[in-house]
Amino acid sequence: MSIDVVALLLALPSTLILWLLADRDPKRLRVRRLRDRAPLSTRQRKIFSVLLFSPGLPLLALGYWSAFLIWFGLVFMLGWCVALILSVLPR
């Protein structure tokens, strides 16, 4: 399997973490007045943010720059998509 496909697969765990971060994002919950779920604490957000970017580290460590860039760009685009999707989903 090409390392660039591995990069695409590594975006999956990152997407899950992005979704979690977005779903429990304090400001989003406040602005949309969603009081049925607890927002993440600052500490939790920090931990998840580190986890979000951890799948890319092995790619960097092994020198797979092309795969790292694909994964990195994908994380940012998926983050935008998650924000867009959550904004149109019904409460």
Partner 1 sequence: MINASTRITKSLLAIHGWSAVFLGLLLYAVILTGTLAVFEHELGVWANPPVQASDRPLPEGIGARLKILADSVDPAYLDEVGVFPAADGRLMAFFHTHIDAEPGREAFEDGTLILLEPSTLDEVDRVTGPADEVFRHFGNNALSNFLLDLHIRLLLPGQWGLWATGLLGFAMLVAAVSGFVIHKHLLKDIFTLRRRRADVLAARDAHVIAGSWSLPFAFVLAFTGAFFSFGGAIGLPMLAAIAFGGDVETALEVLQPEVGEDASPAALADLDGILASAAARTGGEPQNVFINHWGRADALVTVRMSAEEGGLLPGAVLYKGASGEFFKTLPNLGNEPSFGGDLAGLMSPLHFGNFAGTPSKVVWFALGFASAYVALTGMVLWTRRRESEPGWERLARATAWLGYGLPASLAAVAAGYFLMIDGIAGLGNTLLFLFLGGLFLTALLSFSASSTDVANRLLLRLTGAIMLVLPLLRWQVADGPGWLTALSSGLGWVVVMDISMILGALACLAYHRRQDAPVWVSDASVDDDLTVAERVADAA
Element (DSSP H or E) covering residue 88: helix 65-88
The binder of partner 1 chosen from 1, 43, 63, 90 (CB under 8 A): 63
The secondary structure element, H or E, covering residue 34 is none
Closest CA to 16 of 68, 88, 62, 79: 79
| Torsion sign over Cα 86, 88, 26, 24 | negative
What is the nearest approach in angstroms of partner 1 to the Cβ of residue 10? Answer: 12
Residues in contact with partner 1, shown as a per-residue x/- string from 4 to 43 under the rule CB under 8 A = xx-xx------------xx--x-xx-xx------------
What single-letter DSSP state applies at residue 63? T
Total interface residues for partner 1 by CB under 8 A: 34
3-class secondary-structure state, position 46: helix
Please tell me whether residue 46 binds partner 1 under the rule CB under 8 A. no
Which residues are near partner 1 by CB under 8 A?
A: 2-5, 7-8, 21-22, 25, 27-28, 30-31, 59, 62-67, 69-70, 73-74, 76-77, 79-80, 82-84, 86-88
